[in-house]
Amino acid sequence: MHIRNNPELVAYVLSRMENGEVITAICQEIGCTPSALSHYAEDDAQFAQRYARARLRQAAAMAADVVRIADEEPDPAKARVRCDARKWVAARIDPANYGDTQRLEHTGTVEHVVEHRLSEASDLLGKLLPPTIDHNPVAMRQAEAVGLPDVDAAPRRRPGGHKRRRLINGLAS
């Protein structure tokens, strides 16, 4: 059966959706496919709005059905499966209300402590570590005086580079 141009059928489908019935069962009964409903919603803006509202109500009906099933189903394993299925579908239809995601909202201010702490750590490292040519103008002049090449101009990973730095640091002391 064609759902387009059939307002009674549209009302029937949306009403059943709002009562928590799944689309596949409704479509099977009326003789259409779930994709036909989706295509119709893509083509008709008014139907799309009604369909979206019906889907939200469908999720609410499924979530409400969970309590009824838990209270009435005598078999706990069967009740759990039925409840979990409805919770899962409701979460996919309306994740804002029934999803598992938790939102964390922060109120207040964020202090820029990190930048200050990095500056303190840099100053402390400068005091603890021996001076290098890059940060010690005296060692730089002494290195130039004895003819050592500029460390920044040399490739970074060159064999023996650590010896040259140790020699330069030794000149500064």
148 and 91 housed in the same domain = no
Alpha carbon separation from 50 to 18, 40, 92 (Å, rounded): 11, 12, 18
Burial of residue 55, with CB atoms counted within 10 A of its CB: 0-12 exposed, 13-18 middle, 19 or more buried: middle
pLDDT for res 79: 93
pLDDT for res 58: 93
* Region 105-126 average pLDDT: 71
- What is the extent of the structural domain holding 154? 126-172
* Region 134-147 average pLDDT: 67
What are 60's two structure tokens?
């609410």
Q: How many domains does one find in the chain?
A: 2
Share above pLDDT 70 across residues of the chain, in percent, rounded to a whole number: 68
Residue 1 domain flag: no
How far is residue 168's CA from residue 154's CA, in Å, rounded to a whole number? 14
94 and 132 housed in the same domain = no
> Under a CB-based contact definition with an 8 Å cutoff, are residues 151 and 134 in contact?
yes
Residue 115 domain flag: no
Q: What is the CATH number of the domain that holds 87?
A: 1.10.10.60
Confidence of residue 50 (pLDDT cuts 50, 70, 90): very high
Confidence of residue 25 (pLDDT cuts 50, 70, 90): very high
pLDDT at 72 over 80: yes
33 and 86 housed in the same domain = yes
